[in-house]
Amino acid sequence: MRLAQAIKTGFLRSFRFSGRASRSEYWLFLLPGLALPLTAFALLRGAVPDITVPQSLGLAAFTLLPLAAVTSRRLADSNTDPADMRLPMGLLVVFLISLNLGDGFFGSFMATLALLDGPGGFGFFLFYGPLLLLVLALTCLSFLAGAFSGASLFGHMALLSSPGPNRYGPNSSEVQS
């Protein structure tokens, strides 16, 4: 499969999670599939100055669907359960949410701490400090777990196609007669 055909196929089957996708279809679609949400996020942040980070992330996440669909089909092609991509995707979502929470917690923490002086500031620190550490721990944990599960998922993308038809459909790489 050529690059233009892989990109066209990837976008035409954006919402189709069933069937199979060859290795070439997946690997050639990977870069445009990753560039689309990043471009959408950057354009949303630049074009709509009042949009918040969670809103722009949510809208940009919608553009990840074509990549998620081709990943699902690629897993099916190697006879791996497509549900195996739920853990890395879920950890990515948790990481982005905790990163955004941490930014909000830290910003409000520092702004309030700057205004408080004396015993009130210490009490505020005792309350907010553990929350901030909890969010930081969640962010680090979801990042590390996501990196390991994502690397495993990435390794599955390199597996050979299972020969002949499997439970997910006919082999997309073999010539049908």
DSSP labels, 28-85: HHHHHHHHHHHHHHHHHHHH-TT--HHHHHHHHHHTTHHHHHHHHHHHHHTT--GGGG
> What is the average pLDDT across 122-134?
78
Question: Is the pLDDT reported for residue 136 higher than 80?
Answer: yes
The angle that helices 3-12 and 23-47 make with each other, rounded to 10 degrees, is 70
What confidence score (pLDDT) does residue 118 get? 67
Q: Over the stretch 7-56, which tens digit does the pLDDT of each residue have?
A: 888 888 988 998 898 888 899 998 888 888 888 777 877 787 777 767 77
Q: Is the pTM of this model over 0.85?
A: no
